Amino acid sequence: QQQVKQSPQSLIVQKGGISIINCAYENTAFDYFPWYQQFPGKGPALLIAIRPDVSEKKEGRFTISFNKSAKQFSLHIMDSQPGDSATYFCAASRMDSSYKLIFGSGTRLLVRP
Amino acid sequence: EAGVAQSPRYKIIEKRQSVAFWCNPISGHATLYWYQQILGQGPKLLIQFQNNGVVDDSQLPKDRFSAERLKGVDSTLKIQPAKLEDSAVYLCASSVAGGPYEQFFGPGTRLTVL
């Protein structure tokens, strides 16, 4: 119930294409869902986050789609660029657990020029 | 604004030795986290501090791991004795408070246990 399942494990996209990464969770008490981006040798950095009271949030080329009934959420990267090549982690947390982040297993994205 | 600082960046030790990691969070951040990131996996929370009190240490292997945050600022994480399976990157993060706030991560310490 504490798990966040992320797919795919790796993704290759051509420059200008759309990258889509999916996550699923079981615990309906989760109420905060961030996405983190990690470059090699660096710590993760927050990309975008969503609360379950909205179905979509967009920031620039990055969009989170959230399906509360299906307990799924996804990250869409529009017009993918080689600089987007990184590992992406979804996460979930809840208030009664001090908003401790439970991370997915990560998706390694490669954007080909 | 300076980010989260960690040292050392790399450490290689033999099994059964001890090791310590240091973290300096962003100034003014009340909440500090230590995560373990095994290669190919997402970070796993080891311990969360609010100021100098422990909020969550449910996943900290307390028989060998210890952490402290004196004066509510810097923090150290210690492993004694280390096992092969402790090989990982240890990430420190901080946030303004506990809650649905952005966590700022340091670059991590890569530990190799031989």
Mean pLDDT of chain B: 95
Q: What is the mean pLDDT of residues A74-78?
A: 98
Q: Is there a contact between A104 and B42 if contact means CB atoms under 8 Å apart?
A: yes
Q: Pick from B37, B103, B104 the residue to mutate for testing the A interface (most A CBs within 10 Å).
A: B103
Nearest CA among A80, A84, A110 for reference residue A12: A110
Tokens, residue A74: 């996804």
pLDDT tens sequence across B15-73? 999 999 999 999 999 999 999 999 999 999 999 999 889 999 999 999 999 999 988 89
CA distance A93 to B76: 25
Q: What is the mean pLDDT of residues A28-54?
A: 94
Phi-psi region of A98 (alpha: psi -120 to 50; beta: other; left: phi over 0): left
Task: Give the confidence band of B1 by pLDDT, cuts at 50, 70, 90.
Answer: low
Buried-state track A49-69, b at ≥16 Cβ within 10 A, e below 16 = bbebeeeebeeeebbbbbeee
CB contacts, 8 Å: B49 with chain A: none
